[in-house]
């Protein structure tokens, strides 16, 4: 990190971190969709996988705007988040409980991205890079929507999970 | 995780994860405060350290409400988030740039906690545990406020970081 001397350098670091995070997600989300049993949850995750692929290509456009070649820098936080997601995938017991755990893990991921894109957008605004701001904002909006959709689904899934644990 | 058969078990798992996350933060925040050069940022972090100690004790009250003994289960995501924070702390170059990076790392942490407490609160609501909901909501409110305060501070800090990189 010793070569970081300007806010622009720091923005590039943030984009490399996000590029790693989104690429890790593209690999992880199919396994999450496979583990989900609620049909609406599975569909939501599959749709978000397609969006995530778009997020990767938007970040490549951001690299181009910044005259940088696309390069990922391992995002340690996303590694930890995905490792928690894997625990939720491996959860034994009632399906609805596994779904409830998957939603919890997915919302942590969305919030990580909301914070990270928010920081990158603030840097781009300060640096007066409107094209970069626009690209980051487009993804930020989709992450926010995904989080809201997951919150809505959590209602029914948690209710089912609550009933699943009640002995007959 | 094989002993999780009810939503209540899953709530206990979430509380153990949060207990680990908050305890990791109590250890990490003094180093963040020490690395911060902006006086308002340093004060905000020190105040949030005191709040974080309260969050630990609130979680102990949640364990008591659930008739469980307080036990942390290593939160891998927070490990990753703190490892990213350590990179921001070690950032060479202008002070304002380091501060900008610290705010970015701290907001990721806040968002992780907002998501995790939100999930736990939703489980507690579904399980009709109003005392637990109240304890979790109190912390959730403080995490949200801390995130907003950091966003406000980011304005001035990013401006200084932007100017710091401009040659005289």
Residue B40 has pLDDT above 60, yes or no: yes
**Rounded-to-integer distance, Cα B45 and Cα B154, Å:** 13
Residue B5 has pLDDT above 60, yes or no: yes
pTM of the model: 0.94
Residue B25 has pLDDT above 50, yes or no: yes
Query: pLDDT-based confidence at B166, cuts 50/70/90?
Result: low
pLDDT score of B4: 78
Query: pLDDT-based confidence at B165, cuts 50/70/90?
Result: low
**Rounded-to-integer distance, Cα B57 and Cα B51, Å:** 10
Residue A168 has pLDDT above 70, yes or no: no
Q: Which residues contact B42 (CB under 8 A, 6 or more apart)?
A: B33, B36
Nearest Cβ partner of B158 from A77, A91, A126?
A126
**Rounded-to-integer distance, Cα A126 and Cα A146, Å:** 27
- Provide the angle, in degrees to the nearest 10, between the axes of the packed helices A7-35 and A95-126: 160
pLDDT in tens, B64-81: 999 999 999 999 999 999
Q: Which residues contact B108 (CB under 8 A, 6 or more apart)?
A: A77, A112, A115, A116, A119, B81, B84
- What is this model's ipTM? 0.93
What average pLDDT does this structure show over B33-49? 97
pLDDT in tens, A10-35: 999 999 999 999 999 999 999 999 99
- Give CA B35 to chain center in angstroms: 17
**Residue in A3, A6, A28, A167 to test binding to B, most B beta-carbons within 10 Å:** A6
List, as own/partner pairs, every contact residues B87-90 make where C-beta atoms lie below 8 angstroms and the sequence separation is at least 24, other chains included: B87/A1, B88/B35, B89/B31, B89/B32, B89/B35, B90/A1
Alpha helices in B2-69 (DSSP H): 7-35, 39-65
Cα distances (Å, whole numbers) of residue A6 to A14, A92, B24, B53, B55: 13, 49, 31, 35, 36
pLDDT in tens, A119-139: 999 999 999 999 999 999 999
Residue A2 has pLDDT above 80, yes or no: no
> Is residue B77 within 8 Å of residue A80, measured between CB atoms?
yes
pLDDT in tens, B122-147: 999 999 999 999 999 999 999 999 99
What average pLDDT does this structure show over A80-100? 93
Chain B contacts of A7, Cβ < 8 Å? 97, 100, 158, 161-162, 164-165
pLDDT score of B97: 94
Token pair 């790392």: residue:
B105
> CB distance B7–A122 less than 8 Å?
no
How many CB pairs lie under 8 A apart between chains A and B?
Answer: 160
What average pLDDT does this structure show over B82-95? 92
């Amino acid at each position: 990190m010793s070569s970081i001397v300007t806010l622009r350098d720091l923005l590039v670091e943030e984009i490399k971190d996000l590029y790693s995070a989104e690429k890790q997600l593209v690999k992880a989300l199919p396994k999450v969709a496979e583990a989900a049993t609620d049909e609406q949850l599975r569909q939501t995750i599959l749709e978000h996988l397609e969006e995530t692929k778009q997020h990767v290509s938007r970040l490549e456009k951001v690299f181009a705007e910044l005259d940088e070649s696309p390069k990922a820098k391992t995002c340690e936080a996303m590694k930890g988040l995905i490792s928690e997601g894997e625990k939720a995938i491996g959860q034994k017991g009632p399906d609805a409980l596994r779904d409830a755990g998957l939603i919890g893990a997915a919302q942590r991921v969305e919030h990580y991205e909301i914070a990270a894109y928010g920081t990158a957008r603030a840097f781009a605004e300060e640096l007066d890079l409107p094209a970069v701001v626009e690209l980051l904002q487009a993804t930020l909006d989709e992450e926010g929507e995904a989080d809201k959709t997951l919150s809505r689904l959590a209602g029914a899934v948690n209710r089912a999970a609550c009933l699943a644990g009640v002995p007959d």
